[in-house]
């Protein structure tokens, strides 16, 4: 594809649009993973987490044809993301009990794993829009980085002001996970009925939120008993 052609720029705009639409989920993951760290470490986590996530995304897109041949891939990624949505929801705020390095890399690891799970649909969409041109993929992802970083910083600020947003973020991750599972070719036929499709998504989202809420209540009661 000619670098200066209309076709090239049209495909590039499509890729950037896909990345920006899906960047909201990435920003939420990064913001939630970094929210309990001291402020001076949050920027490091956002930078390293975003860089690692983008690196993984580029590598995944390079082998997208191979990835698509793996059965049950979207189900595995979806289940992993359900667990991460729950884990981020019930994570206790004890940032000072860990060393700064451990806290930073634990958060970065969570971000990269979550992005790898969430990025499967993105990888497939971007690879299709790029028509096999990896230069397009890389440029599109690089342009989307500032949006993800800015969104993460904004999300951390909102969580600090409105703690209930954590539940909203976890619900969005659970929703993304459920949609991934329903798009798995091996089980897609089970969700052709809209009632079944939306019922399953609602079940996953509500299940994660209720499980997280019950776990948090149990932890709070345990802390009160100990004191």
What is the residue-wise DSSP string for 85-117?
Answer: HHHHHH----GGGS-HHHHHHHHHHHHHHHHHH
Q: Which residue has the higher pLDDT, 96 or 79?
A: 79
* Mean pLDDT across 72-80: 82
Q: Which residue has the higher pLDDT, 129 or 90?
A: 90
Helices 73-90 and 6-34 meet at what angle, rounded to 10? 40
pLDDT tens profile 162-218: 878 888 888 888 888 898 889 888 899 999 999 999 999 999 999 999 999 899 888
In angstroms, the CA 146 to CA 77 distance is: 25
Q: Which residue has the higher pLDDT, 111 or 100?
A: 111
**Which pLDDT score, from 0 to 100, does residue 97 have?**
35
Which pLDDT band, with edges at 50, 70 and 90, does 102 fall under?
very low
- Does the reported pTM lie above 0.85? no
**Which pLDDT score, from 0 to 100, does residue 208 have?**
94
Q: From the CB of residue 69, how many other CB atoms can be counted at a distance below 10 Å?
A: 8
**Which pLDDT score, from 0 to 100, does residue 195 have?**
96
pLDDT tens profile 122-151: 666 666 667 667 777 777 777 766 766 677
CB 148 within 8 A of CB 10: no
Which pLDDT band, with edges at 50, 70 and 90, does 66 fall under?
low
């Amino acid at each position: 594809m000619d670098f200066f052609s209309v076709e090239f720029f049209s495909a590039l705009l499509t890729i950037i649009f896909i990345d920006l639409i899906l960047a909201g989920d990435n920003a939420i993951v990064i913001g939630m993973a970094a929210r309990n760290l001291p402020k001076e470490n949050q920027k490091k986590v956002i930078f390293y987490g975003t860089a690692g996530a983008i690196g993984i995304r580029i590598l995944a897109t390079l082998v997208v044809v191979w990835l698509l041949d793996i059965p049950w891939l979207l189900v595995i990624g979806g289940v992993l993301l359900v667990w991460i949505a729950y884990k981020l929801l019930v994570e206790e705020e004890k940032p000072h009990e860990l060393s700064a390095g451990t806290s930073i890399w634990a958060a970065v690891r969570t971000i990269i794993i979550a992005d790898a799970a969430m990025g499967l649909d993105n990888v497939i969409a971007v690879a299709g829009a790029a028509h096999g041109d990896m230069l397009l993929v890389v440029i599109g992802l690089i342009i989307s980085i500032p949006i993800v970083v800015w969104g993460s910083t904004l999300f951390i600020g909102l969580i600090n002001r409105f703690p209930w947003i954590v539940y909203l973020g976890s619900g969005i991750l659970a929703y993304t996970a459920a949609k991934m599972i329903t798009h798995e070719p091996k089980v897609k036929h089970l969700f052709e009925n809209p009632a079944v499709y939306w019922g399953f998504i609602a079940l996953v989202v509500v299940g994660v939120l209720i499980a997280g809420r019950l776990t948090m209540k149990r932890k709070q009661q345990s802390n009160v008993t100990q004191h």
